[in-house]
Structure 1
């Protein structure tokens, strides 16, 4: 990576920007959704512990039983009143970058300088606001990769020490466990309110290239997925196009010629991710 490589745990949550403005502090998803009202305990901590005019980039997570639980985060988001679940499913914010500090734009600075600024900000933080761990030691990173899975870490993120902050690009490299890979669902079979299966693709040179399909969905999985999809055009008896949706599938399916050799098992939808965050290296992760 440019300037050398730094490694961080890849937390199993939702990437969120914290835009700090005292009482006007907001939490925004990568797609711009306002999550402020749903996680008041995190918003309050950010507003009180981070100087106004700052913008943090980090992971919104829910911790249960001493581990990060993505399913609990999704259930809280889907609840009629997510804020009411703060006691049963407490959220936390794990910051891994700072792109503005007290109105100063840091995006053009190298990552290592932004990290120093983040550490200065985090010196007085307390739960539920924390800072992600970081190391340049590849052996320690490998140790994290193997032992932190029980805490809700599904891999590592590699960052270049000299990299500026560029939104909407894939400058960072994700190294995920082989148990799953991310793909993009572009269409469904069956009715829109209870899909039968997904047609899957990978982004290649700015285009979504078909790579196969999922296995047939069970009734519960189909109903849950129906809440996440946005049909494009009229439903079809063969396949209905949907707005591209990142999904996580099992990595136990072999690849052949850049395609899935057989249907893949859907694990969950990842609507908080943008298709640009899915790389063709998924093919390599899925290969033996």
Structure 2
């Protein structure tokens, strides 16, 4: 029976950066979660949503020749800019490139695969191993095979002082936060068994409608599902740069009959009676925005949310429920 990549193990947000007991910490990179496997020379590079990304990252596919056969890794795809910062937008722009365009991007904006877990090693499935054993095996893999770019070994520590240093010194380079993993924990697909502390005060929501031309929207209307499964309006973004609007538009799908917001009207602002002219879209694209603490009585954001980035790697079901503090 052919071996297939498992679903990724997931994280649950925490408010404290303190390292829990009997746990290790790893940096949370500003990139795309990815899993990679190599079997008989066939390389699978899969996003968290199950999308095959290998055609967009030929340098990673070529680098898989450094790995032993029948090996699979979990990690993060990242791109560095010339200033030594993580460049999420450059990484995002590479997702839809293929063929010569992908090869050109690989030469100009090479991606790295930051490995933080090993799921299979030379034919042996490692999912039931505790994190401490998987980590030791991952370090041995890098050491014995002398892995070089595009491979990078994610740091791991059990020292609280090192965690504090990461959160104070590495954030300038684009570090998102830290992930905590119990040393005795196996790899549990689809389970929120790891903890994540985020430095940036951002949150996710789902695009339900846009203002402006559908080919280059100027503002996004955002929603979240509530506990009953209803798609609730939670707020709108500030005005998007034109380049962002065009990029977002490429990932939006026109609404079908029965959109949850059909017949709704949206106010132009807090306390305003002016309504907005909006275009409904299928509620499937997740975006990350910065919001403040101001809420109305229903829990909606009173002020426009600051655009941060798209999150095509997330499902709508990954987004915090409407009315929750996150």
Is the 1:3–1:161 contact (alpha carbons within 8 Å) kept by the matching residues of 2? Answer: no
RMSD: 2.9
Partner in structure 1 of residue 293 of structure 2:
254
Task: Calculate the TM-score normalised by the size of structure 1.
Answer: 0.85
What are the residue-to-residue correspondences of 1:44-55 with 2, within 5 Å? 44-46=62-64, 48-55=65-72
TM-fit CA distance, 1:209: 5.3
The partner residue of 2:256 within 200, 214, 233 is 233
TM-fit CA distance, 1:210: 4.3
Partner in structure 2 of residue 242 of structure 1:
282
CA distance in 2, matches of 1:28, 1:105: 18
Structure with larger Rg: 2
Deviations 1:36-59 (A, max 9, x none): 12222211222x222211111101
Deviates more, 1:141-150 or 1:239-248: 239-248
2:139 is the alignment partner of 1:127:
no
TM-fit CA distance, 1:28: 1.3
Is the 1:201–1:209 contact (alpha carbons within 8 Å) kept by the matching residues of 2? Answer: yes
TM-fit CA distance, 1:108: 2.6
TM-fit CA distance, 1:133: 0.5
The partner residue of 1:74 within 73, 92, 95 is 92
Return the structure number with greater strand share.
1
Partner in structure 2 of residue 27 of structure 1:
45
Partner in structure 1 of residue 165 of structure 2:
143
CA distance in 2, matches of 1:99, 1:279: 28
CA distance in 2, matches of 1:159, 1:275: 25
2:308 is the alignment partner of 1:272:
no
Deviations 1:66-91 (A, max 9, x none): 33211111223344612222221111
Partner in structure 1 of residue 267 of structure 2:
none
CA distance in 1, matches of 2:156, 2:320: 23
SS of corresponding position for 2:285: strand
CA distance in 2, matches of 1:136, 1:277: 29
Is the 1:254–1:262 contact (alpha carbons within 8 Å) kept by the matching residues of 2? Answer: no
SS of corresponding position for 2:139: helix
How many residues of Structure 1 are paired with residues of Structure 2 in the alignment? 283
Task: Calculate the TM-score normalised by the size of structure 2.
Answer: 0.76
TM-fit CA distance, 1:30: 1.5
2:207 is the alignment partner of 1:172:
no
Is the 2:179–2:197 contact (alpha carbons within 8 Å) kept by the matching residues of 1? Answer: yes
